[in-house]
Amino acid sequence: ARAAAQERYAVFNESMHNQALARLQLETDLRQAIRRGEFRLVYQPIVDLAADRVAGWEVLVRWRHPVRGMVSPLEFIGVAEDTGLIVPLGRWVLHEGCRQLAEWMAADPDGGPRFITVNVSARQFLDVQLVDEVERAMRDHGLRPGSLKLELTESTVMGDPAAAAGLLGRLRGLGIPIYLDDFGTGYSSLAYLHQLPLDGLKIDRSFVQRSGEMAVVQTIVALARSLGVVVVAEGIEEPAQLEALRAMGCEYGQGYLFAKPLEPEAVAATLRVPVPV
């Protein structure tokens, strides 16, 4: 029995050791990837459900690993957060997204994208340079107020709602609207929700995709209306989901039914080429 226990302990230990090694390797790779510029951005349309038109694009990061190929952000954002590498990576995402939007707006001033949304993780939100960085990105690329929006998760904001309110207020002062991401999955204090300068709630796809959860969606739509903010439904895959959301008066939607996240070339192909004068 003793030997068996020892063996089990050894196996457990070895797998923990392997996990730690894999994580360390990932961290080393991430550092290198930032230096080597191995990241790319893809863009998923945010659709105005009543007008049936693309209103803006969510920016999502991709890692083209030289050996492993495309690595999902679900695999590396967590490690990037824990190690602080999300700060330089997030700065790159912000600037590259703004640069790309400015290029698209110049190519199609009337019909082109109106805004991008950029995801900001908890660690970035704590970075004292965030507000300056955002201001610089807007200025460097000549973006108008409202054309860059930030997505923050409920847990990022609700960790310290009083501090968050101050920071969100400064961002709003710069003309940066804020969407609360993955809404419904965390704990939101209703009292604080009313005090936060928010512009939208993004309903997590887990609610949109389970037909039994449509009452939750309806409640969030009503809540958003009472707060005076817009609602974006994530993860729309089925026509029936779209119809239900439209019937509830949900303003915006995203999901594979419309489009998966697209390479910039695919987005550019949707723009009208300006008529030369």
Tell me if 201 contacts ligand C2E by CB under 6 A.
no
Is 92 in contact with 59 (CB distance < 8 Å)?
A: no
Q: Which is nearer to ligand C2E, 77 or 217 (CB)?
A: 77
Binding mask 203-222 for ligand C2E (x = CB under 6 A): --x-----------------
Smallest distance from ligand C2E to CB 14, Å: 30
Where would I find the H helices in the chain? Answer: 2-36, 73-83, 86-107, 122-126, 130-140, 154-158, 161-173, 190-195, 205-209, 214-227, 239-248, 264-268
Q: Which is nearer to ligand C2E, 47 or 61 (CB)?
A: 61
Tell me if 72 contacts ligand C2E by CB under 6 A.
yes
CA dihedral of 175, 88, 255, 246, whole degrees rounded to 10? -20
Tell me if 44 contacts ligand C2E by CB under 6 A.
yes
Binding mask 160-189 for ligand C2E (x = CB under 6 A): ---------------------xx-------
Tell me if 237 contacts ligand C2E by CB under 6 A.
yes
In sequence order, what DSSP letters do the residues of 164-186 get, joined into one string? HHHHHHHHHHTT--EEEEEETSS
| Angle (CA) 239 245 250, round 5° | 140
Tell me if 137 contacts ligand C2E by CB under 6 A.
no
Tell me if 96 contacts ligand C2E by CB under 6 A.
no
Site residues (CB under 6 A) for ligand C2E?
Answer: 44, 60-61, 72-74, 77, 90, 93, 119-121, 181-182, 205, 235-237, 254-256, 261
